[in-house]
Amino acid sequence: MSADDDPAQLRQVADYLFAQGVPFSVAVIPQYKDPNGYYNNGKAVNKSLLQVPALISALRYMQSKGGTIIMHGYTHQYSNVANPYDAVSADDFEFYRSHIDASNNVVYDGPVAGDSASWAQGRITSAKLNFLLAGLSQPTIFEPPHYAASAADYQAFQQTFGKRYDRGLYFGGYCPNGACGTGTPDYTKIYGQYFPYLVKDIYGSTVIPEDLGNIEPVPLNNHPARLPADILASAAGMSVVTDGVQSFSSTTRIWAPVTCSKSCPVSRAWATSSSHRLLFLPGDPHVSPGVAEGATSGDRSSMTGAGNA
């Protein structure tokens, strides 16, 4: 979630999860940006958590109901350019460049201009300051926006947090002869990978996997619609794993119409006001080179819950 979310609706979601006995996490984008006024009649928007006291109160309320805050990037968008949709927070990638090709695929182009571990660390530092000024506790888990970043960025996430919630991206050439981190990443050879349990990946981070996918009520970028029944079917398959972690994402919990200054991306013709991920804790991951396997827009707000499967 970000500074443009409705605090009242966030409280409603927290109340529901608490009533169900589900501990949950809230993936927070601390700085909301719409630099070109895409959703604001051409007027730029740049809003921090501090500027929305009611939202800060709602986040504290969610924490009181068992919620854990996760850092979901700094702005969840990159500069003032489409990456790949509209340059708006929660729609676009932050730590990786992308575009939509003529066949309506989201294509991964490579690291952003000026990318480095220090650049990524600067984004993290800015995000931490935003939480500090808002009087909120510092997150200890990082969720890369749209689960995408360069190898250098992943190293920065590891150094600061040591824990991620995502499906990681991995690159050919990074682990020559098994010595990870000593090679030069080949960004034309991209592999997405998720796991059915907690792991420590090649970047050295403990990864809490999102392994059941996300709910999408309509097809998007050549990915078919994915409904709750599909999530449950995947969960049933994952249930054979001992001590597994099952987690899915949803960006379609509460829908409300929006007006765009230009035509909306497909998934934003209706925008979510709040959403959540559920993480259940009981006692084809390959991505074609350059093409995103699971990229979607409309990641307006994210929550994670935990319960026994």
Which phi and psi (to 5°) does residue 119 adopt?
A: -65, -45
Least trusted range by pLDDT, from 34-43, 46-55, 175-184, 204-213:
204-213
Higher pLDDT, 159 or 268: 159
**Do the bridges between strand 168-172 and strand 186-193 make them parallel or antiparallel, or are there none, so unpaired?**
antiparallel
| Residue 216 confidence (pLDDT) | 86
How far does CA 278 lie from the centroid of its chain?
A: 14
The Cα–Cα gap between 296 and 195 comes to 20
Alpha helices in 99-146 (DSSP H): 117-133
Cis status of the peptide bond prior to 84, with omega within 30 of 0: yes
| Residue 249 confidence (pLDDT) | 75
Q: Edge-to-edge, what's the strand order for the sheet holding 270-280?
A: 67-71, 24-28, 302-307, 270-280, 246-257, 214-215
Burial-class residue 4 by CB neighbours within 10 Å (0-12, 13-18, 19+): buried
Per-residue pLDDT, averaged over 153-166, amounts to: 97
**Tell me, what amino acid is at 63?**
Q
Output the average pLDDT for the chain.
Answer: 83
User: For the chain, what is the radius of gyration of the CA atoms?
Assistant: 18
| Token representation of residue 115 | 């990318």
pLDDT band at 228 (very low <50, low <70, confident <90, very high): confident
Burial-class residue 263 by CB neighbours within 10 Å (0-12, 13-18, 19+): exposed
Q: What is the value of pTM for the model shown? A: 0.83
Count H helices, E strands: the chain? Answer: 5, 15
User: How much of the chain, in percent, has pLDDT values that exceed 70?
Assistant: 81
Per-residue b or e along 171-199, where b marks 16 or more CB atoms closer than 10 Å to that residue's CB: bbebeeeeeeeeeebebeebbbbbbbbeb
pLDDT band at 250 (very low <50, low <70, confident <90, very high): low
How far does CA 179 lie from the centroid of its chain?
A: 29
* pLDDT tens figures, 2-56: 998 889 989 988 998 899 887 788 899 999 999 999 999 999 999 999 999 999 9
Every domain of the chain and the residues it spans: 7-307
**Tell me, what amino acid is at 47?**
K
The Cα–Cα gap between 113 and 118 comes to 13
The Cα–Cα gap between 22 and 36 comes to 38
Residue from 15, 25, 114, 115 nearest 65 by CA: 15
Please say if the pLDDT value at position 171 is more than 70: yes
- CB atoms under 10 Å from CB of 101, counted, come to 12
| Residue 13 confidence (pLDDT) | 86
